[in-house]
Amino acid sequence: MAITSAPGAIRAASRPAPSSPAGRQRTSLGRKVRDNLTGHAFLIGAVLCFAVFSWYPMVRGIVMSFQRTRRGETTWVGWDNYLRILDDPSFWTAWKNTFYFTVLALVLGYAVPFFVAILLNEFRHAKGYLRILVYLPVMLPPASALFLFKFYAYDPSDAGLFNAILKALGLPTSQWMQSPDMTMPAMVIASTWMNMGGAVLIYLAALQNIPGELYEAAELDGAGVWRRIRHVTIPQTRLILALLAMLQIVATMQLFIEPLILANGAGAEDSATSVAYLIYQHGFFQNDLNGAAALGVIMLVVLAGFSAVYLRLTAKQD
Amino acid sequence: MAQDSGTRTLISQAQLQRGPGRAIYWTLLAVVIIGFTLVFLGPLYWMVTGALKSGQEIAQTPPSLFPQDPQWQNYADAWNNLALAKLLFNTFYYAAGAVLFQLVFDTAAAYSLSKLRPVFGNAILGMMLATLMIPAMVLIVPQYVTVIDLPIVHISLLDSPFAIWLPLVANAFNIFLLKRFFDSIPEDLMAAALMDGATPLRTLWSIILPMSRPILGVVSIFAVTAVWKDFLWPKLVMPSPETRTVSVGIYAFAGGTPMNVVIAASVIAAIPTVIIFLIFQRNIMSGLTAGGLKG
């Protein structure tokens, strides 16, 4: 991409030079006001949408988490919502499940795309075909893809796709979503299959920006393939790797549609309940919008914590 | 990205052309092509053909590779019983409106921030970009409460397409993408237009937009796929059966419908985005990587 940023001195260059100093004063003031009004007129549509659907809800979410609405009457209740949420055992189950998912997804959904990208970057043939294949699942509606996994892949009988493959290979079959131990790995597999294409393409773009001379030099120094990956590829893509790790954590924390469709929400022995699913439950089934708002604020604080750690780590490396 | 065939990568061209390197390269390539086809295309094949099997055939062990007696009826049932025509129409309608609203408002905003640069422009841009840090799930409840009773005007957008269109305009990623593109358009062009007495609107329409077709295409495709893939938000704000999107509709019917019919409906729901992808794959992939991740 050859997009270079050149914001400019248009204001100075664009105007015909005014003839007299007195006229200059007047026109430039009137012009300035008018130019600014025009500028804001172009902005107003987007700004209103941001205000109503993004900025205001953010503030309102925090306010709601300290209120309670009963029979149309809203009162301030301080930390009551938070205390009630923290008291609920499913809160801790949900966080445990969500962190477990995040860690598994980091191992599978983060490392695998990186090595897939390194591999694809070496091929001189079938590049386009392989890229299309990897990205194709990203384009499916998640609900469609998850019904495929739920009904065909994770069928706990031997007629299911995965069990048939395991059986053909002589491996033990699994109960998949019906087994509390397999629920999370099964959701991570489905989620990685659906989403890894985006990460692969971003890594590929980053790999193509590595100067070839670095590999050349490493090779002359006698570095093998693995050492070249460790000492050239990874350091050169460090920033993208760190950024995608952060994005991945934010995305996996919002785990919702996988438990909803694959596990009908909570899953076997609550093994699928996620924090996002809990927000949905409180907000839209238990008539507890305030509790749901409190859960949202807690999620935001946890993610802000991760971001702070991330900024610390990346700042140190530079 | 264009000259990637010539650049040196992890393993040198020479190494791949010599004896053992060459053999390893071709073996690995074959393994990866077959493996990726099985992993990424295989499930889709399973989905399309599985929906053609009868209830008995789908439960048989080991599963059959080809449907023995294709039940086209499953697809017909999905189409009729789930009213897929209506669901698909709704989703198209929401997607088309989302493209229109995003193109008009986000382009205007990005143009203003890039070229007109009014006072507080940077502060506004900063506040827009800050929303990228806030996960959607955190906002879902207050956003829903806002939509069912809009501030000041006190109307509810429930079951109205505006409940999908307007929140999508608040897309900082689009504005960032568009602004970056507009920034790359030389200021001289703008200056020349202004000298000729063109208004800012006319400059946008006759000079900036014609040059920005690629990025407008990317934004439009992203808008369509975002609406097509979204699930929770349309489920919440489009509660009545007449206004549902296709994903939500299939989910709503999944409980009381035979498995193969649900899968057949899922296949039909996925066809539009897959077609869009196959047609526009170049734009989608370049848009994805241009998205400022290496900014």
Q: For residues B164 and B227, is the Cβ–Cβ distance under 8 A?
A: yes
Q: Do the Cβ atoms of B113 and A219 come within 8 Å?
A: no
Map out the domains of chain A with their CATH numbers: 28-64 (no CATH), 82-317 (1.10.3720.10)
Q: What's the confidence (pLDDT) of residue B3? A: 40
pLDDT for A107: 85
Determine whether the interchain pair A216/B113 forms a contact, defined as Cβ–Cβ distance below 8 Å.
Answer: no
Distance CA A154, CA B259 (A): 13
**Chain A contact present for B231, CB below 8 A:** yes
The mean pLDDT value for A33-57 works out to 93
What value of ipTM does the predicted structure carry? Answer: 0.88
**Interval A12-36 mean pLDDT:** 62
pLDDT of residue A26: 58
* Residues of chain B numbered 107-146 and touching chain A (CB < 8 Å): 108-109, 111-119, 121, 124, 127-128, 131, 133-146
More confident residue, B41 or A3: B41
Looking at the predicted structure, is the pLDDT value of residue A258 above 90?
A: yes
Chain A nearest C-alpha distance from B241 (Å): 17
pLDDT tier, A18 (very low <50, low <70, confident <90, very high otherwise): very low
Per the CB < 8 A criterion, the answer to whether B233 and B140 are in contact is yes
Residue A313 has pLDDT above 50, yes or no: yes
pLDDT of amino acid A210: 87
**Chain B residue with minimum CA distance to A200:** B289
- What is the pLDDT, as a whole number, of residue A9? 37
The pLDDT of residue B2 is 39
Q: Which residues of A touch B231 (CB under 8 A)?
A: 141-143, 257
Contact A9 B134 (CB under 8 A): no
Whether B183 sits inside 8 A of A125 (CB atoms) is no
Residue A152 contacts B where some CB pair is shorter than 8 Å = yes
Q: How far is CA B175 from CA A240, B164, B220, in A?
A: 22, 18, 13
Cα separation, B295 vs A295, whole angstroms: 33
Torsion-angle region of B252 (φ positive above 0: left; ψ -120 to 50: alpha; else: beta): alpha
Q: What pLDDT is recorded for position A146? A: 95
* CB proximity B31 to A under 8 Å: no
Mean pLDDT value across residues A200-209: 88
Decide if A52 and B58 are in contact by the 8 Å CB cutoff.
no
**Which of A118, A159, A253 is closest, CB to CB, to B59?**
A159
Rg (CA), chain A: 27
A208 in contact with chain B, both atoms CB, cutoff 8 A: yes
B139/A296 touch (CB, cutoff 8 Å), yes or no? yes
% of chain B with per-residue pLDDT over 70: 95
Kindly indicate the confidence band of residue A318, based on its pLDDT and cuts at 50, 70 and 90: low
Cross-chain residue pair A123–B32, CB shorter than 8 Å: yes
Give DSSP secondary structure letters for chain B: -TTTTTS--SS-HHHHHSHHHHHHHHHHHHHHHHHHIIIIIHHHHHHHHHTTS-HHHHT-SSPPSS-SS--HHHHHHHHHHTTHHHHHHHHHHHHHHHHHHIIIIIHHHHHIIIII--TTHHHHHHHHHHGGGS-HHHHHHHHHHHHHS-TTT----TTSTHHHHHHHH--HHHHHHHHHHHHTS-HHHHHHHHHTT--HHHHIIIIIHHHTHHHHHHHHHHHHHHHHH--HHHHHH--STTT--HHHHHHHHHTTS-HHHHHHHHHHHHHHHHHHHHHHHHHHHHHHHHSSTT-
